[in-house]
Chains A and B, each alone.
Chain A
């Protein structure tokens, strides 16, 4: 460690600049003494600023952190610049050091003179000069930074689940306890959703003392953020109620596509064409599938992939459902010949293989085609060997695609969350946050997210529950982002550009005052609005124009 002295003394700001040698990794290339001397030689450029510049072996080591802490305290530093490695490695380390002193961690800045200087610039002189430039820029910037303070918020651990199908019920059961109430809101008059079968969770949900069930009820309004939502409910008989909760789980399910959307499928009302979900329900309820005249069909064709082409995705569950239904018909009415017509069999996992075996063993005829058309009760099968065949059946069961539920659009608008290219709720990140949305505290479960099996729906529901259980812990508080955007009311013209670009729904219009207002608990500081503001009324804390421009000015000087 060496020391090269301090600058002037009558100053108000005391900026500490600490250069980490990182062993030979920085000091082996960069002449740190020269960097320090160069910066000190120009210290009269900074008015009312005293510079303390020092170097140290390893600032990230235990003794290094203690050294830095002591330096901040002993020198009464008002600002801190650490010239070391990538912020990815040690930004949080040095913020932690600041937090142990009176120095606000947002009055500190790390400069990367290792990955961006010593490791990538071959010429030592150039690396030394570049390091000095970066540090000068950071001194300039840190002087314009402001203290920021975390404001922990009390939370409400309760959750609202919209939709009483398999996913909604599973989410409710996974969440409810004596520590947490669940409000289960279902649009129709009964639980169960679109599965077409009685779900085993129904009894448990009804008996659960911590689940409040609202039937024939819909969400009519929502405001708030993770931990604190106010939700308006409207029942079919017109009654309004307001509830509060910390999270909202969207489990509204899905619909089926209209088979005739496809140009290759046409039939009339009187034809014996019944979509798969209907046939499943009938078979479950009646134990067999009869024609409208009450007689048993001699031949049935199940047509896979109806709607796949038009929707632009494979629903992933229809092959399994189709083959299960085909096998069930064979089992219940062995005299009925059942044919499954498919292009690709999508049967992932051991369960899929079992379904295929079951269908084969029960005598279902499987026909692979390149394409299939339906006209009335006659199928035109385009076979893999290039031939084609026309065959008529007594009953045709198209496996229609899973499509977004009708309510998806209005709920998305109410919650200000985007839809994906197919019209389902869009997840926050397809892979790393698939159950979350851009609105923190709003989660997606089941086929409201996209086509999936009942098992996957329940897993999504449990993932939503997992987010709530780990983030909204009764008695704990949450800390919202502090580097958020603020609006300088005097400059705001209320044009509303910022409202349109805010993906988090954090900005609203105050029509009385003719300005936009940021809800700081919802804002994540992405800066979209900042770029869209024509009058310079927006400022993202810790990333202000002033801070960035002064840093760039210094770097380009």
Chain B
């Protein structure tokens, strides 16, 4: 197989996985590079996805399995792209496969090694709401279900002591503490960047109390709090006290003003949180403090209506920027200007902040490596010609999903399918790729 028939997809979330599955086949090989030790992306952090309230794992796991079992996809987990040279049809990419210390072939995921590991550290994948061992899988249900060792914290690897407990515990001789990083040089014809996004850093909004007040949660923290494979096994209990919340306020648009755009999905995930709360705590009172309700498209208004009125009280504020959360003796107070501009107070014991979707911290670095332009918000720029093309400013490099801007799962999948189509088209017409027209198509000679 020549480079013209190989493709590199960066990021194994739903966009990267879908694009890989569409492109992989007897005539085309796909390299799928993922920074984390597991594939699946952000979607698998959500127990249920709006608007169907479908089990996300049930939706994504078959896609993950299909990727891992596809003979035409080489999935490189715990790996990072280090350089991208060349041009459309002829890229050279170097990928660092970080030392995992556990064999993907030999390990069966029995978990004996983490039982014996003496080191505990925060589990960032679980928003640090729980700890993990120095040898770990991020969550139960991880795919591939093979742990990785944090080399900086492992006592043997960081030189603290001659601990060998995990190696001794493994019946499969799958752990090799001598493992080293490997560099892989790939020749590919095209790339798809699908590295996803992050949520707004809420500590930048001190008035909302995140970080200072334990009862104030980020959306991802709340997703994991609800997840049955999460830190509390799905019990919604308050950080610190362990009490069950009686009154919860969801504050919309956290970070919208700072970012300068509406992310378009936060209203929907906020209403999903209402469902989560009422599902597990039927007597809980939920308030949504909002300005504009943004539920675009044929699927979302129904969902909004299903929670509005019965399950939550919608409280309009004339200025989200002036919402203030403070601690009280018994819980939290949310002060907000109401429709008439008069400050209203709400006493609650839990606050969830609907944070904006922002570029992932590594997006700028990736754009630099790939030599592609970012837009004014820091997302990867596409459709420079306004045609809906998923090609970036550099020919042969495409993008899909939230690395291109905030969006829901449906739009993410649509972009992945678009990008896959454009790559397939490019591959089939590679021979006469001499001139390009603005629509991103090769010009036929």
Contact = CB atoms under 8 A, between A and B. Distances in A.
Interface stretch (B178-186, B243-251, B270-278, B404-412): B404-412
Contacts of B69: 92
Contact of B302 (A313, A459, A463, A464): A313
Contacts of B390: 459, 462
Contacts, number: 201
B297 interface: yes
A125 interface: no
A471 B27 CA distance: 12
Contacts of B108: 22-23, 25, 58
A347 interface: yes
B376 A350 contact: yes
B365 interface: no
A24 interface: yes
A344 to B, nearest CB: 4
Contacts of B295: 314, 346
A462 B418 contact: yes
Interface in B52-104: 52, 54, 59, 61, 63, 65, 69
A345 B262 CA distance: 10
Contacts of B27: 473, 476
A462 B296 contact: no
B401 to A, nearest CB: 12
Contacts of A76: none
A352 B429 contact: no
B388 A455 contact: yes
A53 to B, nearest CB: 23
B417 A350 contact: no
Given A348-B264, A463-B417, A384 B316 contact: yes
Contacts of B22: 466-467, 470-471
A244 interface: no
A25 B294 contact: no
B439 A173 contact: yes
A432 B410 CA distance: 7
Nearest to A452: B297
A28 to B, nearest CB: 9
B429 A466 contact: no
B331 interface: no
B441 interface: yes
Given A313-B297, A462-B389, A348 B421 contact: no
A353 B414 contact: no
Given A24-B110, A451-B297, A466 B261 contact: no
A431 B429 contact: no
Contact of B301 (A24, A313, A384, A458): A313
Interface in A311-339: 312-317
Count chain B CB atoms within 10 A of each CB in A314, A422, A458 and give the residue with the most.
A314
B261 A352 contact: yes
A6 B8 CA distance: 50
A496 B171 CA distance: 58
Interface residues of B, number: 75
B424 interface: yes
A350 B293 CA distance: 17
Contact of B422 (A314, A347, A422, A462): A462
A432 B411 contact: no
B237 interface: no
A466 B417 contact: yes
A503 B409 CA distance: 25
B297 A450 contact: yes
Interface in B398-445: 405-406, 409-411, 413-415, 417-422, 424-425, 428-429, 439, 441, 444
A291 B386 CA distance: 34
Contacts of B411: 456, 459
B339 A430 contact: no
Contacts of B375: 350
Contact of A349 (B172, B261, B417): B261
B421 A469 contact: yes
Nearest to B412: A431
Given A316-B296, A349-B405, A470-B22, A432 B422 contact: no
A175 to B, nearest CB: 8
B229 interface: no
B23 interface: yes
Given A432-B413, A435-B417, A456-B411, A316 B297 contact: yes
A47 interface: no
A308 B298 contact: no
Contact of A432 (B59, B106, B293, B296): B59
Contact of B294 (A347, A384, A452): A347
Nearest to A62: B105
Interface string A52-95: 00000010011000000000000000000000000010001000
B59 A88 contact: no
15 contacts: A23-B172, A61-B105, A178-B444, A200-B386, A313-B299, A314-B297, A344-B293, A347-B262, A385-B340, A386-B340, A420-B298, A432-B413, A434-B413, A455-B383, A459-B415
Given A348-B294, A348-B406, A465-B418, 8 more contacts: A23-B172, A170-B388, A308-B301, A432-B413, A460-B414, A462-B390, A462-B421, A465-B425
Interface of A: 22-25, 58, 61-62, 88, 92, 170, 173-174, 177-179, 200-201, 204, 308, 312-317, 344-350, 352-353, 384-386, 420-422, 424, 430-435, 449-452, 455-471, 473, 476
8 closest pairs, A vs B, by CB?
Answer: A466-B421, A316-B296, A348-B264, A458-B388, A450-B298, A463-B417, A384-B339, A462-B418
